[in-house]
Structure formats: C-alpha cells, structure tokens
Amino acid sequence: MKLNEKYFPYVLLLPLLLYILLFFFNPFFNALKLAFFDENNKFTLIYFRELLRDPRFFSAIKYTLMFAVTIVPLQLITAFLIALFINRNFKGSKTLLFICSIPLAISDLAAGLIFLSIFTEHGFLNSFFYFLGLIKKPVYFLSYENIPLLFTSILIAEHWRATAIVLIILIAGLQMIEKDYIDAANVFGANFFKRIFYIIIPLLKPSIQSALIIRTLFAFQMFAVVIALAGDMIPVLSGETYFWYYIYRNSHIASCYAVVIIILSLLLTAIYLKFLTYKEPVYENI
C-alpha cells in the first residue's frame, strides 16, 4: 500500500518517459550516429569533411548567426516597448494585447507568404511607394542581386511573426512586478527612464532571459520564412538540413547540419546563462 503510493507519480509519468525515450533520446542519438558513423557503423568524419567542402555551409552559418543577432535584440526592444505601453492598463489595452498576440498563431511559412504579398515586385509595398511618387518602376526586394534588401525583408517578416511570444512573456513578467516597487521609485523621485533602468529591467530579468533563450534557439531553426521569401538564395542551417534530406536524400549530411544547429544552440544558451545568471521560476508548493 505504502509502496504503491510512493511509486504512483512515476506510474503517471510512465507514458511521458516512454515518449521522451522514443521521440527525444532515440532521434538525438540517431542523429549523432548518422553524422559520425558510416554504413558499417564505423566512426568517421567524412560527412563533416564533405560538409566543410560545401561553400553553402559557411554562408548558412553566417546568415543564421546574422539573423539570430539582429532579430532577437530587435524583438526584445520592440516587445519591451509595447509591453510597457500595454502595461499602462488604459481602456483598450486588452484589445491591443490580443491584436499583438495574433502572429503567435501564424506559422513561419504563412508569415513568409503573407510578406511575400508585400515584398514581391507585384506586391503592396511597391504599389505604395509608387503612389507616394517615390518610384516609377517596381523595386526587386526579393532578388539575389540585392542580398541586404532580401535579408531585411526576411528580418521584417520574422520580426512581425515572432515578437508576440516575447511580448507575452514580458507582459506576464511585468504583471508580476508589484506595483509597490514602482510606486516607491516614484515617491523617491525616479523619473521615467530611471524607473525603467533601475527598477523594471532588473526585476524583469528572469522574463527577459527566458524570452532571450527561447527566441535565440528558435532563430537557429528559421526555415520556412526564409524559403518562402528567398527560396535558396539565402542559406540557413535548417533550410540546408531540409534541402540535404529532401532533395539530395542524404540523411548523413542533413544530420551533420542538425548537429551543428544543436551545438550552436547549446553554445549560445551556455553563454547567456553565464552572463545572465538565471534563476529557475519557483513553483508553488503543493
């Protein structure tokens, strides 16, 4: 009877543990196997050597990192500003929060297609510029001849899509800050910027950190937005994984790419954790 009770939670967790085993551990180790072992189960680096010979590999790393280091800070800043605005709790702030969370529902592929209708040469942005009299002929935003413009277009689309999650995390964090602190700061004469830098940001640190880590990790997996807007003109790591498997049917090289993604992810998370000490949220006792 007593024994039963003690093991009961583990029994409840059994399906989950089984699932983790089959769908996380299994593919994880298989990926390592595919990347480092050949058909005869012998350790090999030929796949990685092949990877290194592929010029697109280095571009993919370059662009993936470039996306991560530009999008994430941009998103944090916009989300923080919007969060501050929404947190003023004016009439309509709830509506605005809902509006801002709409992109949360939209997939990266859909976001890519939505922005395709804006950035393509027959798109709305060109027509808009035309009506403003800024251009006579359509600008080619999505062309390999102007990679920076293409990059920026993708940046805008991804920023539009994925800022919502940062916003939600930050607002949830803001709402947990007791108003007393801010009132106290007010009483002691802190102005708006001082309040933000000395009270709000430090107290919001755990939320900022979660948002930062989550967003960075997902930025490394950027894929469908890029393909929808740029095809294969801008290589990114996830996209290359996809191409290597989907077109060349080479699961070894594809796995090498996947392994590179996780190595970069771990590296960056470790850096974040090192520079921003992260406290696990305390779950209420039961």
Q: Which lies closer to another protein via its Cβ, residue 80 or residue 160?
A: 160
Interface size with another protein, residues (CB under 8 A): 101
* Per-residue x/- track, 26-65, another protein (CB under 8 A): xxx-xx-xx-------------------------------
Q: Which lies closer to another protein via its Cβ, residue 103 or residue 151?
A: 103
Does residue 175 bind another protein (CB under 8 A)? yes
Report residue 27 as tokens: 């593919």
Interface of this chain with another protein, residues 69 to 128, rule: CB under 8 A: 82, 85, 88, 90, 92, 96-110, 112-118, 120-122, 124, 126-128
> Minimum CB separation from another protein for residue 187, in Å?
21
Q: Which lies closer to another protein via its Cβ, residue 167 or residue 200?
A: 167
> Minimum CB separation from another protein for residue 198, in Å?
24
Does residue 224 bind another protein (CB under 8 A)? yes
* Per-residue x/- track, 234-253, another protein (CB under 8 A): ---xx--xx--xx----x--
Report residue 130 as tokens: 């035309």
Q: Which lies closer to another protein via its Cβ, residue 130 or residue 181?
A: 130
> Minimum CB separation from another protein for residue 63, in Å?
16
Q: Which lies closer to another protein via its Cβ, residue 176 or residue 184?
A: 176
Q: Which distant-in-sequence residues (6+ apart) come within 8 Å of 271 by Cβ?
A: none
